[in-house]
Amino acid sequence: MSTKPASRQAWSLSSTEAVTKVKLMLKLPRFKAAAVQASPVFLDAAATTDKAVSLIREAAKNGAQIVAFPEVFIPGYPYWSWITDPVTGGAWFEKLVRASILVPGPEIDAIRRAARDSETYVVIGVNERSPVSLGALYNTLVPTAHCWESIASSCQPGRKS
């Protein structure tokens, strides 16, 4: 007995029928997301945090339920690493380390409060300073989803060094 269909046409669906069937199978909730396209206040973590809080509130007022910030938004991306040599870039790296933040810390607390108050889920990229090393920085993605009250919850930041 053959398992092949009598004709390929018997198994084909129009694109409208396929979309309808997929929607019925998935039943996914709809949401509005805001992809933040803004510059940080370069190498100023406190000012960039204030800007992020303002952008979270603005996105929420416009109906966003998810707000996503770029990589290392706080305190800014080290662009000089692509255009200069390591010796020349050393002075800039020192500035970056000094401007980077601790996780947990007051900047993340402010972001989490803004997320909680605006009832949004926020992900933000930061340069995370190590509390035990002078030269280690982590490119960290910090989520706030279901973590509004405390960083000690099950939602932990993702790091890459």
- Spell out the per-residue pLDDT of the chain, length 161, in tens: 555 555 444 456 677 888 888 777 777 788 999 999 999 999 999 999 999 999 999 999 999 999 999 999 999 998 888 898 888 888 999 999 999 999 999 999 999 999 999 999 999 999 999 989 878 899 999 998 655 444 444 455 666 55
pLDDT attached to residue 151: 41
Q: What domains are defined for the chain?
A: 29-160 (3.60.110.10)
User: What pTM does this model have?
Assistant: 0.76
pLDDT attached to residue 107: 97
pLDDT attached to residue 160: 59
pLDDT attached to residue 11: 55
Question: Residue 53: left (phi > 0), alpha (psi -120 to 50), or beta?
Answer: alpha
pLDDT attached to residue 134: 79
